[in-house]
């Protein structure tokens, strides 16, 4: 979300915030902090302003002040469209949330939709769709799938890889703008909005007239699970969607083995292999293949991931 586009409703406060942004861009975060503080004296209920102030305070070394500002953001905006809860956890001001705000994720990808493909493929060397499709091809044992469900389909980068092997292809995403981009590509038979962080009955996947249970012979989640911490809801959804003998193929960022999942500076989660193995066992999925590989670059550094191919017993 471009916070600079969110007006306070007060011309003078907006002007001071604009100058604060200019100072921050020049590296003067202490000066930016002072100007944002002045702006918030005029509009103390401006949640976006407090979020910007927290960023300037953190970068100027005022960690406790940044934590206090983030708590103010959550007080003013408990739905957390800014992802303040994630930032607060990274600064040590709160426990790591098991899930981020759904509103934050929807807004994040709505804002990202127009540049998503170019940024991932051309700038970040994003490779999950190709590698996941190759993993499925090696172990699937057939050339076609009757029904594929692409969870967190985004703009359709993985859908493009599986379309020629799917008789029927459905895509679900939390972002309406991402779904619109996927619609433009004309590769899905059906697209709809869904929230994987919610229980199945509230996710948008199993409501009347939408996806029925046990109908897919392939369910995928390419580069999706790193935006969620606890993955119970995703595994419940995948298990309900899969017919007997169906495959569930997905990727995670590799979080090592210290914890089930960790929250990184990128505001993405990374998961341990042992945690995924435990989930597969709990939900009755047999692991067919595991591939550890680089999945993208971030800040010029490779990001390690783990790709899984699992199967629901017949």
Domain coordinates in residue numbering, the chain: 3-95, 112-311
Q: What is the pLDDT of residue 314?
A: 87
Nearest to 157 by CA among 105, 102, 118: 118
Q: What is the pLDDT of residue 124?
A: 75
Q: What is the pLDDT of residue 4?
A: 46
Q: What is the pLDDT of residue 201?
A: 84
How many other CB atoms are there within 10 angstroms of residue 238's CB atom?
Answer: 27
Q: What is the pLDDT of residue 142?
A: 66
Q: How far is CA 233 from CA 45, 174, 199, 229, 314, in A?
A: 35, 14, 6, 10, 22
Low-confidence stretches of the chain (pLDDT < 50) are: 1, 4
Question: Residue 101: CB partners within 8 Å, gap ≥ 6?
Answer: 79, 80, 81, 83, 85
CATH number for the segment(s) 3-95: 1.25.40.10
Q: What is the pLDDT of residue 51?
A: 96
CATH class of the 112-311 domain in this structure: alpha beta
């Amino acid at each position: 979300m471009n916070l600079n586009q969110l007006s306070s409703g007060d011309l003078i406060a907006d002007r001071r915030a604009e100058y604060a942004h200019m100072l921050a861009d020049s590296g003067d975060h202490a000066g930016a902090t002072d100007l944002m503080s002045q702006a918030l004296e005029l509009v103390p209920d401006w949640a976006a302003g407090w979020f910007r102030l927290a960023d300037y305070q953190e970068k100027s070394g005022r960690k406790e002040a940044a934590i206090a500002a983030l708590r103010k953001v959550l007080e003013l905006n408990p739905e957390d469209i800014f992802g303040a809860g994630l930032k607060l956890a990274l600064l040590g001001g709160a426990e790591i949330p098991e899930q981020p705000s759904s509103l934050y994720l929807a807004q994040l990808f709505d804002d990202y939709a127009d540049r998503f493909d170019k940024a991932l493929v051309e700038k970040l060397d994003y490779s999950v769709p190709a590698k996941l499709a190759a993993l499925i091809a090696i172990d699937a044992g057939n050339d076609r799938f009757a029904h594929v469900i692409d969870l967190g389909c985004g703009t359709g980068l993985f859908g493009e890889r599986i379309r020629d092997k799917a008789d029927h292809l459905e895509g679900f995403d939390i972002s309406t703008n991402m779904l619109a981009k996927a619609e433009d590509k004309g590769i899905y038979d059906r697209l709809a909005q869904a929230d994987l962080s919610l229980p199945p009955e509230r996710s948008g996947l199993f409501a009347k007239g939408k996806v029925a249970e046990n109908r897919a012979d392939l369910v995928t989640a390419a580069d999706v699970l790193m935006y969620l911490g606890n993955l119970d809801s995703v595994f419940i959804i995948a298990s309900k969607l899969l017919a007997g003998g169906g495959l569930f193929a997905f990727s995670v960022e590799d979080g090592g083995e210290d914890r089930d999942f960790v929250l990184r500076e990128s505001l993405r989660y990374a998961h341990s292999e042992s945690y995924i193995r435990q989930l597969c066992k709990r939900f009755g999925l047999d692991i067919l293949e595991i591939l550890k590989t680089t999945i993208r670059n971030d800040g010029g550094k490779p990001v390690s991931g783990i790709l899984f191919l699992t199967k629901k017993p017949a």
